[in-house]
């Protein structure tokens, strides 16, 4: 067994302590790096397991879901329908939240989209830098260049 294990390690293939299947090292997680409470659940089922052994992602997900379910149950005494749906979604690797920006974006009018673009630019660093440059040019032109007849003399009321 040790010779076979050494050969597997040289080829970069390790086995899952739970299901016994071989996986590349990237698809496995060392038991020693898993949360203690989850490790205890694994050790109950596989007492021969060592911290240097590995577990595949599917089996680790099952133990994580088992941990979440037991935590919710111990906290409240029962699991609500919403919590059950959450656990089911986690088991099936589904997204729990949805990106509603896409839905809202489709329903915007032209004016709303334009206002959003203007607001996005108005709060950007590009706008702030451009506006600071414009202010500096305005003040320089009205104080230095147009000394005799400035279009907007100090205190720059027209600029306001």
Q: How confident is the model at residue 3 (pLDDT cuts 50, 70, 90)?
A: very low
Q: Are residues 74 and 111 in the same domain?
A: no
Position 7 scores a pLDDT of 39
d(CA 143, CA 120): 33
Structure tokens at 90: 């986690």
Specify whether 87 is located in the same domain as 111. Answer: no
From the CA atom positions of the chain, what is the Rg in Å? 32
| CB-CB contact of 84 with 91 (8 Å) | no
Looking at the structure, tell me whether residues 48 and 116 fall in a common domain: no
The whole model's pTM is what?
Answer: 0.47
Q: What residues make up the domain containing 39?
A: 2-91
Q: Count the alpha carbons within 13 Å of 99 in the hemisphere toward its beta carbon.
A: 4
Of 70, 91, 112, which residue sits at a domain end? Answer: 91
Q: Is 159 part of any domain? A: no
pLDDT tens per residue across span 53-83: 999 988 998 898 888 878 777 766 666 776 7
Query: DSSP states of 95-135 as a string?
Result: -SS--THHHHHHT--HHHHHHHHHHHHHTSHHHHHHHHHHH
The count of structural domains within the chain is 2
Whether residue 59 is contained in a domain is answered as yes
CA 98 to centroid of chain Cα atoms:
13
Position 6 pLDDT exceeds 60 = no
Long-range contact set of residues 126-130: C-beta below 8 Å, sequence gap at least 24: none
Q: Is residue 151 in some structural domain?
A: no
Mean pLDDT of the residues in the chain: 81
Predicted pLDDT of residue 102: 64
């Amino acid at each position: 067994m040790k010779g076979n294990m050494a050969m597997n390690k040289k080829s970069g293939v390790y086995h899952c302590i739970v299901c016994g299947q071989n996986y590349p090292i990237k698809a496995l997680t060392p038991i020693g790096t898993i949360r203690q409470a989850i490790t205890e659940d694994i050790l109950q089922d596989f007492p021969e397991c060592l911290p240097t052994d590995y577990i595949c992602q599917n089996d680790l997900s099952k133990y994580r879901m088992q941990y979440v379910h037991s935590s919710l149950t111990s906290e409240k005494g029962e699991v609500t329908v919403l919590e059950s749906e959450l656990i089911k979604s986690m088991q099936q690797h589904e997204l729990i939240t949805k990106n509603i920006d896409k839905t809202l974006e489709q329903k915007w009018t032209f004016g709303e989209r334009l206002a959003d673009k203007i607001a996005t630019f108005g709060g950007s660093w590009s706008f702030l830098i451009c506006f600071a440059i414009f202010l500096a040019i305005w003040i320089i032109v009205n104080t230095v260049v147009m000394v005799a007849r400035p279009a907007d003399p100090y205190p720059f009321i027209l600029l306001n």
